[in-house]
Amino acid sequence: MDSPESLILSAIDNNRERLIKFAQNVYASGEPGFREFSTAKKVTNFLETLGLMPQTGLAITGVKAGLGLPGLNIAAVAELDGIACPAHPFANPANGVSHSCGHNAQITAMLGAAIALSQPEIKALLGGNVTFFAVPSEEYTDIEYKTRLIEDGKIRYGGGKAELISLGAFDDVNLCVTHHLHMVKTGRDLLLGLNTTNGFVVKQIEILGKASHAAIAPHRGINALNAASLGLSALAYQRETFRDTDFVRVHAIMTDGGSTVNVVPSKVTLEAQVRAKTVGAMQDAAQKTDRAFQAGAHALGARAVIKDLPGYLPVLEYPVPKAMEMAGSLLAKAYSVGKVDPEIHNCASTDVGDLSHLMPTLGFTTGGFIGDLHSAGFTVTDVDKAYVLPAKVMAMTIFNLLQDKAREAHGLLERFSPPLTKTEYLAYLGS
Of 26 and 205, nearer to Zn ion (C-beta) is 26
Q: Give the binding range for Zn ion (CB under 5 A) out of 100-108, 234-242, 258-266, 388-396.
A: 100-108
Long-range contacts of 90-95 (CB under 8 A, 24+ apart): 90/27, 90/28, 90/30, 91/30, 92/28, 92/29, 92/30, 92/31, 95/30, 95/31, 95/32
Least separation in angstroms between residue 137's CB and Zn ion is 11
Note the Cα 127 to chain centre separation in Å. Answer: 29
Least separation in angstroms between residue 75's CB and Zn ion is 17
CB atoms within 10 A of CB 413: 14
Least separation in angstroms between residue 48's CB and Zn ion is 26
Assess 78 for contact with Zn ion (CB under 5 A).
Answer: no
Q: Give the binding range for Zn ion (CB under 5 A) out of 42-50, 95-103, 236-244, 324-332.
A: 95-103
Note the Cα 99 to chain centre separation in Å. Answer: 13
Bridge partners of residue 178, in order along the sequence: 77, 363
Query: What distance in Å separates the CA atoms of residue 431 and residue 426, rounded to the nearest whole number?
Result: 9
Of 69 and 176, nearer to Zn ion (C-beta) is 176
Interface size with Zn ion, residues (CB under 5 A): 1
Of 100 and 223, nearer to Zn ion (C-beta) is 100
Of 104 and 118, nearer to Zn ion (C-beta) is 104
Taking a C-beta distance cutoff of 8 angstroms, is the pair 304, 205 a contact? Answer: yes
Of 235 and 389, nearer to Zn ion (C-beta) is 389
Which residue in 80, 101, 177, 352 binds Zn ion (CB under 5 A)?
101
Bridge partners of residue 362, in order along the sequence: 177
Of 7 and 348, nearer to Zn ion (C-beta) is 348
Taking a C-beta distance cutoff of 8 angstroms, is the pair 91, 85 a contact? Answer: yes
Bridge partners of residue 79, in order along the sequence: 135
Least separation in angstroms between residue 59's CB and Zn ion is 17
Residues that bind Zn ion (CB under 5 A): 101
